Amino acid sequence: MSINLNSDSLKQIPIRFWKSSGFVWRLARIIVLASVAVVVLMMTFEDKLIFFPAKYPEGLWEVQESCRRVGDLIPQVEDCRFSTSDGVSLHGWYCKPMRCGADGPVPATSEMVVLWFHGNAGNITHRYDMIRQMLMKLPVDVFIIDYRGYGKSEGMPSERGLYLDARAAWSYLTDERHIEANRIVILGKSLGGVPAIDLASKVQAGGLIVQSSFTSATDMANRVLPFYPKIFLRTKMDSAGKICQVGVPKLFIHSQADEVVPYELGKRLYEAAHEPKEFYEVAGAHHNSTYIVGGDPYFETLRRFILSCRKR
């Protein structure tokens, strides 16, 4: 007995199999449902994938230093409380350089104030070492805040919250502490570049420093989640679209060794900005070690730029 299987009949075997078993439809349904579930989960927990706050008491909150030798510079850290336009209570540090004298510390000369917006993780205490270096080497006053949901600040973090928090910090400096706008240089590092650029596009500060930041949330998502459909991304963080609205002097700092925010995005952000602007590259620095690897040349670049903003 022989069985005759021509090419056409062979082709029909897998087709009949899939149709009779319903395998294709079940598989397609599973894929669609799984994809929808992933999108829903990503949209639901989107903020939790962006913001990684450390709430009080996490952190190193006891930072006050005492004089050891006459002539030394030490930081004086003042706790500050202020509120946003939507009623959220925020916390920050106003830090001043103090000169150690025979009778105790006295305020050191500091012409400019740096309004600092930090990255997406931790809280202000994790930036104390760099604050200390800035106060000693520049020197400047530094006002650093914790966004809502971070440190001792109330609320929950969000993109809209970043912009409201930044504006509240500006109002605190200019309205409550009566600091002249042209004495304030806005500094945004990493995620902090987002509220820094947004604020600088709306107020007339002395200058803007953007360190290790990016063009937009979509561009970052393309690097971190390349297969996620960006049409469902609610967060915009369109710094590239806003930087062209900033007319004050701008300093961009980045490293090709940055393992978190690609150097290309930092360079594209710089290229989107109008003059006056400058770009400073710190060779071999990872995302969180820019000021350490950069050392004295890095701080000298900050000092020169900040003082040039005062001369405007």
Residues 24 and 173 in one domain: no
**Which residues sit opposite 209 in a β-bridge?**
187, 251
Question: How many CA atoms lie within 13 Å of 247's alpha carbon, on the beta-carbon side?
Answer: 5
Residues 128 and 166 in one domain: yes
CB 141 within 8 A of CB 110: yes
Residues 36 and 63 in one domain: no
Q: How many CB atoms lie within 10 A of CB 91?
A: 19
**Residue at 3 is within a domain:** no
pLDDT value, residue 10: 46
**Residue at 264 is within a domain:** yes
Of 157, 119, 135, nearest to 286 (Cα)?
A: 119
- Work out how many domains the chain is built from and give that number: 2
Q: Containing domain of residue 263, as a range?
A: 52-310
**Residue at 115 is within a domain:** yes
- The pLDDT tens digits of the residues spanning 203-213 come to 999 999 999 99
- The pLDDT tens digits of the residues spanning 255-273 come to 999 999 999 999 999 999 9
Residues 208 and 242 in one domain: yes
**Residue at 194 is within a domain:** yes
CB 141 within 8 A of CB 96: yes
pLDDT value, residue 109: 86
Secondary structure of 110-170 as H, E, C letters:
CCCEEEEECCCEECHHHHHHHHHHHHHHCCCEEEEEECCCCECCCCCCCHHHHHHHHHHHH
- The pLDDT tens digits of the residues spanning 27-58 come to 656 655 554 545 444 555 477 889 999 999 99
**Which residues sit opposite 143 in a β-bridge?**
94, 115
pLDDT value, residue 32: 54
Residues 95 and 165 in one domain: yes
CB 273 within 8 A of CB 267: no
Identify each DSSP E strand in 4-111 by its residue range.
52-53, 73-83, 89-101, 104-107
Residues 16 and 125 in one domain: no
Residues of the chain with pLDDT under 70: 1-45, 227-232, 311-312
Residues 239 and 264 in one domain: yes
CB 210 within 8 A of CB 261: no
Residues 16 and 59 in one domain: no
CATH of the domain at 105: 3.40.50.1820
Residues 127 and 85 in one domain: yes
For the four alpha carbons of 159, 259, 55 and 79, in that order, the dihedral sign comes to negative
**Residue at 284 is within a domain:** yes
Q: How many helices (H) and strands (E) does the chain have?
A: 10, 11
Residues 24 and 92 in one domain: no
DSSP calls for 172-209? IIIIIS---GGGEEEEEEGGGHHHHHHHHTTS--SEEE
**Residue at 306 is within a domain:** yes
**Residue at 1 is within a domain:** no
Residues 108 and 221 in one domain: yes
Residues 160 and 283 in one domain: yes
pLDDT value, residue 233: 83
**Residue at 63 is within a domain:** yes
Amino acid at the residue 50: I
